Amino acid sequence: SPEFVEMFLDEARLAARLNHPNIVQIIDLGRAGQDYFLAMEYVHGKTLRDVIHRGMEQGKVLPLDAVFTSAFGVLSALHFAHTRRGAGGAATPVVHRDVSPQNILIAYSGNVKLADFGIAKAQDHLHVTQDGVVKGKAFYMAPEQMFEGKVDARVDLYSFGVVLYGNVSRSCIDTI
């Protein structure tokens, strides 16, 4: 649909402007015939969700230093997005709106990357979400995001707190 294509292109352009070592990079976007494409950086690794589930299956816990390293990477990416400046130095913050273990990639090299800014909301974003439409995973959403539609940097921090408490802390509680 034309609306979906417009949203896809807007959000891809937005994500392409987020150049940070802890954010999955957009390499190219465009159109080939009737199809649109988005080429993203390949992260050789697993999602945090996969890492946690695999550890739980094997009865292993995440080492505390790995938890801190991962947290630092995600928080660094969020800080970059939340304090983003546009042309002329004007504040143009980007709120991810879907921070969850599925969108946190752990590379085999140890690097941590935040992925899928596809539902991000930016101050300079061209496409406007319809009123009443909530985007993100309900389990990780801040109450303000879910019930009031209020979205700012705090909803990402809340979501990451849920990730840490609800997923990571459970898997590494024995190491504390």
DSSP class of residue 27 equals: E
Active site residues: 98
Task: Please state, in angstroms and as integers, the Cα–Cα distance from residue 121 to each residue in 15, 47, 165, following that order.
Answer: 10, 23, 25
How crowded is residue 72: how many other Cβ atoms within 10 Å of its Cβ?
12
Closest alpha carbon to 100 in 56, 146, 48, 43: 48
